[in-house]
């Protein structure tokens, strides 16, 4: 077995600390860059392979369809066919609904489920992700562009700007992916996303009250206060016919969701429920001439597949700020959602999803989408879950859905023109109610108060101010916490666990034993400008407290041992602070000893001459060695370095 030989108390000879010369700047920089941008080492398979295989692997890496299509079998196709049809039946009502939410013609919603899934199936690496439009991004686009152009007065310009926003969003995603800036998405924490989704879902639900109540007048503002105020103001416009139909549909949809929750096998009930609502609505509208009873219908859906929208892209500087803003915000949110979802399904199946590659796929999908009359698409959770449950095996399910949509566009589109708006509102509302995760918020409250605050900041910011403000508020708080984490790193006093060579936090392990004449402190986190002031104060306070404690026992502090094992990096200000700490303590006749600096920290300590100043004989490999070393120096007073620099 392994050479686990116990106890390093080896008398006079200590184990050697590695004082090798630091790596060159180029080496260290290359290594840092790799860790920052390629933590998953995507090209590890390529090493040492001949060039043709490398080229083939690279092609398969960048265009995953070359990897899965050659291995594709008829059996797999049967699974994907079923899954594809299922998600298509969801895509039609969702496409129409979310297009209404974005204030664009409903046919655009159908177009958006035809081209982008095809692109994703070529470039995408997730097997389960189903492509489609999402409510949150639809609302963000609408809210941002409405601020510049009124969609009712100037629908064509409005639509053009939506395509432009989609292009900008796609380009942003592509750039982020190519430059491997997936790290940016890391800064959207789960708590932020939970709160943001909940807040957006609440807003969207409120927006749907327009459809449910059959209101004619509404507000272009999205915040809760404005929406509730406008509903109260126009309460006399509320049509009971519309309200009754809406509530019936909503109850039906919620019931099917309930069925799915109770019996996950029956997921298809809730998957086809929106289609059932739309078809029932259409038939009902056609038979009962509901328009005459104050129930509006979608109206006017032309046959035929996506026309080109290249000429529609509008870069007029007068309006450009709106699509840029909408494009950037939706790019980030769509990415965060899409990557998180793809990843969570991948984990179930133990695959690995490369977030940066997904970004490239999403980017291409939206760029080509914006040329072919599609608006923003991503991988929505609801659709992906249905796809997964329906048994999809590869990206082919997206191709099947795409073909279904093509057939719909060629032959069935006009039929859907009878869809009552109230049915769409009920579909959206039902989907949104599922996105408000009370239990997750409660879990956060129970386990981490600060995460809960971050979540609530997003929720209330979105609900009462605006979506971007809510998002920024929450991300700002999360970053503040991250900075506080590193600005106030925990340090602790270590003691010896009896009968071992192990030293642990004395607060955590009250049985640990103090070492006479010595204070052992464990540091953690990187030491750098934002926490070095704190660390100086804190270490001096540890020493002061320990002096008082030891004095009461007739003892004294002669050595401070700093355990650097947990310190991952250090900057110039950090090194200067160490110099100051040492100077402050030496004045009081206390010697500073350093234990186990890690590779990067050691390099910085050598290059700044700190090691020379403190003396190599004051740096030890382990706490045990350090204590031995300090004890030897007690008598001769010189071995542990009394020379000053």
Please give the residues from 608 up to 627 whose contact with a copy of itself meets the rule CB under 8 A: 608, 621-622, 624, 627
CB of 387 vs a copy of itself, minimal distance in Å: 21
* Cα distance between residue 329 and residue 333, in whole Å: 6
Kindly tell me the number of DSSP H helices and DSSP E strands found in the chain.
Answer: 26, 6
Task: Using CB atoms within 10 Å of the CB of residue 44, give its burial: 0 to 12 exposed, 13 to 18 middle, 19+ buried.
Answer: exposed
Asked if 470 contacts 199 with a C-beta cutoff of 8 angstroms, the reply is yes
Using CB under 8 A as the binding rule, whether residue 21 contacts a copy of itself is answered as no
Binding residues among 41-100 for a copy of itself as defined by CB under 8 A: 41, 44
* Nearest residue to 391 via CA among 253, 262, 268, 256: 268
The interface region with a copy of itself, picked from 3-11, 99-107, 114-122, 299-307 by CB under 8 A, is 3-11
List the one residue from 79, 252, 450, 464 that touches a copy of itself (CB under 8 A). 450
Q: Based on CB atoms, which residue is closest to a copy of itself, 415 or 579?
A: 579
List the one residue from 146, 337, 358, 600 that touches a copy of itself (CB under 8 A). 600
Binding residues among 466-505 for a copy of itself as defined by CB under 8 A: 478-479, 481-490, 492, 496-502, 504-505
Contacts of 284 (CB under 8 A, 6+ apart): 245, 290, 420
Task: Using CB atoms within 10 Å of the CB of residue 207, give its burial: 0 to 12 exposed, 13 to 18 middle, 19+ buried.
Answer: buried
List the one residue from 114, 345, 460, 528 that touches a copy of itself (CB under 8 A). 528
Residue 619 has φ and ψ, to the nearest 5°, of -115, 125
Sign for the pseudo-dihedral over CA of 216, 220, 222, 225: negative
Using CB under 8 A as the binding rule, whether residue 169 contacts a copy of itself is answered as no
- Provide the token pair at 419: 């869809």
Q: Based on CB atoms, which residue is closest to a copy of itself, 191 or 309?
A: 191
Using CB under 8 A as the binding rule, whether residue 529 contacts a copy of itself is answered as yes
List the one residue from 269, 584, 613, 615 that touches a copy of itself (CB under 8 A). 584
Using CB under 8 A as the binding rule, whether residue 25 contacts a copy of itself is answered as yes
CB of 8 vs a copy of itself, minimal distance in Å: 4
* Nearest residue to 14 via CA among 633, 609, 542, 550: 633
Q: Based on CB atoms, which residue is closest to a copy of itself, 20 or 152?
A: 20
Using CB under 8 A as the binding rule, whether residue 566 contacts a copy of itself is answered as yes
Q: How many residues bind a copy of itself (CB under 8 A)?
A: 117
Q: Mask: binding to a copy of itself, 399-418, rule CB under 8 A, as x and -?
A: --------------------
Per 3-state DSSP, what percentage of the chain is helix, strand, and coil (rounded to 5)?
Answer: 65, 5, 30
Q: Based on CB atoms, which residue is closest to a copy of itself, 138 or 474?
A: 474
* Nearest residue to 493 via CA among 530, 472, 522: 522
List the one residue from 540, 549, 555, 617 that touches a copy of itself (CB under 8 A). 540
Using CB under 8 A as the binding rule, whether residue 628 contacts a copy of itself is answered as yes
The interface region with a copy of itself, picked from 55-63, 185-193, 288-296, 374-382 by CB under 8 A, is 185-193
Using CB under 8 A as the binding rule, whether residue 604 contacts a copy of itself is answered as yes
State whether residue 20 is helix, strand or coil: coil
* Cα distance between residue 206 and residue 212, in whole Å: 10
- Provide the token pair at 442: 């409660």
Asked if 117 contacts 396 with a C-beta cutoff of 8 angstroms, the reply is no
DSSP state of 641: T
Q: Mask: binding to a copy of itself, 186-215, rule CB under 8 A, as x and -?
A: xxxxxxx-----------------------
CB of 479 vs a copy of itself, minimal distance in Å: 7
Using CB under 8 A as the binding rule, whether residue 639 contacts a copy of itself is answered as no
For the chain, report the end-to-end CA distance as a whole number of angstroms: 47
Query: At which residue do the structure tokens 């297009």 appear?
Result: 99
Using CB under 8 A as the binding rule, whether residue 283 contacts a copy of itself is answered as no
Q: Based on CB atoms, which residue is closest to a copy of itself, 219 or 631?
A: 631
Q: Based on CB atoms, which residue is closest to a copy of itself, 208 or 596?
A: 596
Q: Based on CB atoms, which residue is closest to a copy of itself, 48 or 264?
A: 48
Distance, C-alpha 177 to centroid of its chain: 14
* Cα distance between residue 615 and residue 619, in whole Å: 8
Q: Based on CB atoms, which residue is closest to a copy of itself, 100 or 127?
A: 127
Q: Based on CB atoms, which residue is closest to a copy of itself, 448 or 639?
A: 448
Q: Based on CB atoms, which residue is closest to a copy of itself, 40 or 291?
A: 40
Using CB under 8 A as the binding rule, whether residue 24 contacts a copy of itself is answered as no
The interface region with a copy of itself, picked from 67-75, 257-265, 411-419, 527-535 by CB under 8 A, is 527-535
Strands 591-595 and 619-620: parallel
For 72, 122, 123, 124, 631, the CA distances from 68, given in Å and listed in that order, are: 6, 10, 11, 11, 66
List the one residue from 572, 589, 616, 639 that touches a copy of itself (CB under 8 A). 572
Q: Pseudo-torsion of CA 332, 338, 341, 344, nearest 10°?
A: -80
Asked if 522 contacts 542 with a C-beta cutoff of 8 angstroms, the reply is no
Q: Based on CB atoms, which residue is closest to a copy of itself, 53 or 513?
A: 513
Binding residues among 338-397 for a copy of itself as defined by CB under 8 A: 347, 350, 352, 355
Q: Based on CB atoms, which residue is closest to a copy of itself, 214 or 629?
A: 629
Using CB under 8 A as the binding rule, whether residue 1 contacts a copy of itself is answered as yes
For 363, 512, 639, the CA distances from 627, given in Å and listed in that order, are: 58, 15, 13
Q: Pseudo-torsion of CA 17, 23, 29, 35, nearest 10°?
A: -40
CB of 41 vs a copy of itself, minimal distance in Å: 5
Binding residues among 304-343 for a copy of itself as defined by CB under 8 A: none
Q: Based on CB atoms, which residue is closest to a copy of itself, 468 or 624?
A: 624
Using CB under 8 A as the binding rule, whether residue 181 contacts a copy of itself is answered as no
List the one residue from 56, 235, 293, 583 that touches a copy of itself (CB under 8 A). 583
DSSP state of 220: S
State whether residue 487 is helix, strand or coil: helix
- Provide the token pair at 351: 């695959």
List the one residue from 588, 589, 638, 642 that touches a copy of itself (CB under 8 A). 588
List the one residue from 513, 589, 638, 642 that touches a copy of itself (CB under 8 A). 513
């Amino acid at each position: 077995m392994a050479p686990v030989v116990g106890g390093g108390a080896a008398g006079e000879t200590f184990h050697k600390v590695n004082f090798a010369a630091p790596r060159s700047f180029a080496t260290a920089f290359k290594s840092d860059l790799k860790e920052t941008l390629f933590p998953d080492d995507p090209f590890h398979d390529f090493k040492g392979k001949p060039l043709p295989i490398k080229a083939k692997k690279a092609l398969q890496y960048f265009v995953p369809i070359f990897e899965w299509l050659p291995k594709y079998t008829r059996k797999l196709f049967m699974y994907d066919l079923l899954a594809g049809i299922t998600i298509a039946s969801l895509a039609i009502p969702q496409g129409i609904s979310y297009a209404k939410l974005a204030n664009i013609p409903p046919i655009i919603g159908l177009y958006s489920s035809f081209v982008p899934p095809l692109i994703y199936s070529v470039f995408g690496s997730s097997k389960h992700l189903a492509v489609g439009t999402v409510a949150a991004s639809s609302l963000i686009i609408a809210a941002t562009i409405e601020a510049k152009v009124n969609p009712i007065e100037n629908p064509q310009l409005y639509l053009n700007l939506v395509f432009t926003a989609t292009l900008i969003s796609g380009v942003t995603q592509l750039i982020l992916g190519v430059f491997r800036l997936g790290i940016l998405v890391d800064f959207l924490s789960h708590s932020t996303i939970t709160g943001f989704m909940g807040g957006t879902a609440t807003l969207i639900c409120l927006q749907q009250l327009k459809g449910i109540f059959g209101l004619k007048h509404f507000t272009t503002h999205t915040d809760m206060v404005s929406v509730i105020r406008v509903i109260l103001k126009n309460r006399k416009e509320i049509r009971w016919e519309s309200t009754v139909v809406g509530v019936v549909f909503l109850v039906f949809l919620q019931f099917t969701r309930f069925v799915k929750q109770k019996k996950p096998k029956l997921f298809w009930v809730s998957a086809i429920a929106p289609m059932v609502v739309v078809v029932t609505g259409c038939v009902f509208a056609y038979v009962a001439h509901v328009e005459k009873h104050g129930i509006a219908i979608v109206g006017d859906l032309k046959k035929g597949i996506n026309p080109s929208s290249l000429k529609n892209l509008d870069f007029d500087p007068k309006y450009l700020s709106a699509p840029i803003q909408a494009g950037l915000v939706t790019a980030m949110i769509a990415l965060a959602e899409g990557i998180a979802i793809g990843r969570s399904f991948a984990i179930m199946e133990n695959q690995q999803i490369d977030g940066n590659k997904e970004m490239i796929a999403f980017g291409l999908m939206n760029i080509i989408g914006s040329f072919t009359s599609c608006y923003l698409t991503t991988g929505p959770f609801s659709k992906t879950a249905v796809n997964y449950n329906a048994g999809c095996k590869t990206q082919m399910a997206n191709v099947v859905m795409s073909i279904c949509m093509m057939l719909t566009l060629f032959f069935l589109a006009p039929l859907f023109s009878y869809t009552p708006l109230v049915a769409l509102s009920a579909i959206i509302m039902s989907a949104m109610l599922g996105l408000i995760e009370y239990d997750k918020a409660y879990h956060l409250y129970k386990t981490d108060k600060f995460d809960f605050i971050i979540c609530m900041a997003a929720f209330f910011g979105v609900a009462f101010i605006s979506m971007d403000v809510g998002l920024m508020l929450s991300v700002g708080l999360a970053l503040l916490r991250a900075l506080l984490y590193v600005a106030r790193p925990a340090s602790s006093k270590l003691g010896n666990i009896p009968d071992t060579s192990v030293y642990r936090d004395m607060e955590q392990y009250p049985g640990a034993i103090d070492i006479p004449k010595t204070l052992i402190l464990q540091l953690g986190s990187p030491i750098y400008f934002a926490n070095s002031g704190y660390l100086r104060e804190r270490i001096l306070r540890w020493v002061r407290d320990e002096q008082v404690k030891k004095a009461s026992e007739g003892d004294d502090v002669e050595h401070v041992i700093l355990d650097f094992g947990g310190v991952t990096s250090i900057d110039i200000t950090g090194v200067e602070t160490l110099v100051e700490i040492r100077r402050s303590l030496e004045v009081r006749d206390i010697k500073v000893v350093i234990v186990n600096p890690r590779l990067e920290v050691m390099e910085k300590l050598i290059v700044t001459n700190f090691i020379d100043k403190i003396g190599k004989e004051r740096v030890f490999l382990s706490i045990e060695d350090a204590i031995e070393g300090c004890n030897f120096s007690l008598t001769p007073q010189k071995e542990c370095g009394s020379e000053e620099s």
